[in-house]
Structure 1
């Protein structure tokens, strides 16, 4: 008989496997990330597809219609965001004057507090500008590469979604062939739970985006804050990235307010409105919308989001939570990897397991 591997060897193999998997994702993220994103969107669109099939719509058309609806929704969001950016650019002369005034005030404060004269500050800025411009060519080429990657990503996404939904039964059969017949029920339950979790999570995020834009943009508009809707849109989408996105959204909201207003009161209003909407979202609205579908502890969430961003950029940060949730579902249903499911979860033991 073949001897079972020692526990330490098993753990070493698992860690090596994680490293190899991470290397594959980094090297092939332009291929893997559109596929992964399409997989999650396909799970979200499955109920719409099934609705059209119940209406006796031909399968190919029933697959196409949900993708068309999703494309229209995304196009409306892009149009709304671009219209707000256009309105911001129309106010550029005023923004330029306001920013210059804030910079003058900052220069005076630095001069009084640290003894750096305005001339020294200008010299320092000029030196840093020269350093920045030396690397501008690399930055622009990287931006062009990123733009082309986004175009390819968006072009492949609907094709992948269409094919994944169309060949869903083939992929399920392929998955079941890796397991014994007595394990089929457990695998099917995991697949159904994954579908339910992803559907609830993504639909919940769409609802969350809508009410944050309405609540935050509307409240700022009532207080007379310029670019209120743009601040609401930016914060709503950045809030899709748990923990880190809200912090970036606060910073950008303050910067947009400073660029269009001389009053510190407006900045306080923006911070207060964002805080109020965030408290309402975190404690009342989001738990009811998504429920308890995503139970990942905050430490693993933050580390996972950072790793996802390093490995695959913004799409990796966005997909980190659903990927971790699926891994948790798989680990919890596996006898060999249950400990990883415990590590990802947010259930804290009532007492230390080392106590007698």
Structure 2
């Protein structure tokens, strides 16, 4: 009998692969309300698993150990929100003042554009109306993302609890899926991947805390209002590569421009934030976040934009950790190591050794 294995030509395989990818991402888009909380819960469960395991070693029953772990995590988050609550309330009280100052600056900008650029006031008004209409549509998408994030917070503890409760069954399922012959290799990959992911996520949290302190101290020295709130928000946005950094700079610049009569402070904010970004990229990230899971700039930008198109704000936050997890898995599987190198931030010149005999 002849072998039934048949190699199809590229022009047949390529469309099938594209259709499969389209259906895969379309299903992810349709199920985002279910999958986004589950994805966040997976990261949280991996991060909290060592603490939960330690409680179990102390003889605490599993259900109570998980409950205690989640309670500690909730108290930490509650403490953070309580710490920022005073600044948030003050920010709400000053919104009318910010609105009046913004309208004043906008009027000055319109007058300057009419005198220096020759753009009539009517044309500027028409342009503002168009921008307002587009802004309202974008605001609707943003609010949808915010409500989606609120849904994450309601489902997150439930999913995290269940993932920690059934972690042994999930690991056993992975072992059985690959069979007994590959059990040792699968165990090695799972252990290495779990440790690397935990150190990576913990490193991201430490990096965020350091950046929050640096941002807040810099803004306090410059006399910017709501320095701690803006510094913390900037540190969280810093988790979104490049795009988040730009938004993190724009927020305090806008506040300083509206609340001050001079433009020196906004320029100083830009300079200080760029310095903090340099320190983050060249000192904090290499030391705190494991360099073996660093993602190159091209992949980072592409996956962040894809994550935003797929799952909104949540997708932008989730994109980099999950690509990092994929890289860790690729680096531990022989046949997938080229894909790991493609995602990584290694210097291309170091990947090819020159021939010294030439």
Short-chain TM bin: 0.7 to 0.9
What is the number of equivalent residue pairs in this alignment? Answer: 352
Distance 1:4 1:121, change over 3 A: closer
Q: Counterparts of 2:341 and 2:207 in 1: how far apart (Å)?
A: 28
Residue 297 of structure 2 corresponds to which residue in structure 1? 298
Residue 240 of structure 1 corresponds to which residue in structure 2? 239
Residue 3 of structure 1 corresponds to which residue in structure 2? 5
Alignment of 1:35-184 (within 5 A): 35-118=38-121, 120-122=123-125, 124-125=127-128, 127-128=129-130, 132=133, 146=145, 148-184=147-183
Q: Counterparts of 2:74 and 2:279 in 1: how far apart (Å)?
A: 30
SS across alignment from 1:177: helix
Structure 1 portions without partners, runs of 5+: none
Residue 22 of structure 1 corresponds to which residue in structure 2? 25
**Contact residue 328 and residue 340 of structure 1 kept, 8 A:** yes
Q: Counterparts of 1:42 and 1:221 in 2: how far apart (Å)?
A: 35
Residue 309 of structure 1 corresponds to which residue in structure 2? 308
Distance 1:140 1:207, change over 3 A: closer
Q: Counterparts of 1:287 and 1:311 in 2: how far apart (Å)?
A: 30
Q: Counterparts of 2:304 and 2:168 in 1: how far apart (Å)?
A: 31
Distance 1:144 1:224, change over 3 A: closer
Distance 1:176 1:275, change over 3 A: same
Q: Counterparts of 2:349 and 2:60 in 1: how far apart (Å)?
A: 51
Length-normalised TM-score, structure 1:
0.87
Distance 1:350 1:128, change over 3 A: closer
Length-normalised TM-score, structure 2:
0.87
**Contact residue 250 and residue 271 of structure 1 kept, 8 A:** yes
Q: How much does 1:128 deviate?
A: 3.5
User: What is the aligned-residue RMSD (CA, Å)?
Assistant: 2.9
**Contact residue 249 and residue 273 of structure 2 kept, 8 A:** yes
